[in-house]
Amino acid sequence: MFASDINAIQNVTTHSSLCQRTAKHLNKLLESRGFVSVLSHHPNASTHGPATIMMNQLSLSEYLRRPIEDVAVLEQEPEYFEREGLLIFTETYDDLDWYKIAIFTDSKGQAFGIKRYRNCPSPGVFLLAEKNHSISLHEQIEGVLQLLGLSGESVVWARDDAHWPTDNSGNQ
């Protein structure tokens, strides 16, 4: 029944009543059919109403074609996003080191990414964002945190032009 309709699915949304196990199963089924949409249950969703999130995961080649840059560091590791069923990482390398990366777009089509260098001595991942002059960098970071079900406390560092709040000692 669902398999016959799978080729018509390009974006997958879920409601809070759909269990995480089913979401992961459907995500694997989509991947086996060549789709890169990510199906996930939003961690902050209410159990009483539809909590729809949507993001499309992009290929590594798409990442190389888009003007995406580091904008913040989050305290989570790639395994967190994989365990929660949010993102699927690809491993590749650049002139610095091997790294894991997952690139995705929000419902408006803006690209974001999560990147972790293999030999980086400090914990956390880089949050990447496509340049978007229509909204502030601060709003972009807030939007992707909401999309991933994270709070602002997950931000360990952000670029100065993000105007991210700091504590009394100057730490973000």
Task: Give the pLDDT confidence score for residue 28 in this predicted structure.
Answer: 58
Tell me: the pLDDT tens digits for 127-142? 999 988 899 999 999 9
Distance CA 93, CA 137 (A): 27
Task: Say if residue 27's pLDDT is above 70.
Answer: no
Tokens of 45: 């969703």
- Assign 37 to helix, strand or coil: strand
* Cα dihedral value 165, 153, 84, 82, nearest 10: 60
Task: Give the pLDDT confidence score for residue 47 in this predicted structure.
Answer: 37
For residue 63, the surrounding DSSP H or E stretch is helix 60-65
Among candidate residues 144, 89, 133, the one with its CA nearest the CA of residue 115: 89
Per the prediction, the chain carries an average pLDDT of 76
Task: Say if residue 68's pLDDT is above 60.
Answer: yes
Task: Say if residue 2's pLDDT is above 70.
Answer: no
Tell me: the pLDDT tens digits for 77-132? 999 999 999 999 999 999 989 999 999 999 888 999 999 999 999 999 999 999 88
Confidence of residue 63 (pLDDT cuts 50, 70, 90): confident
Task: Give the pLDDT confidence score for residue 61 in this predicted structure.
Answer: 81
Task: Give the pLDDT confidence score for residue 67 in this predicted structure.
Answer: 84
Task: Give the pLDDT confidence score for residue 133 in this predicted structure.
Answer: 84
Task: Give the pLDDT confidence score for residue 58 in this predicted structure.
Answer: 87
- CB distance 38 to 56 below 8 Å: yes
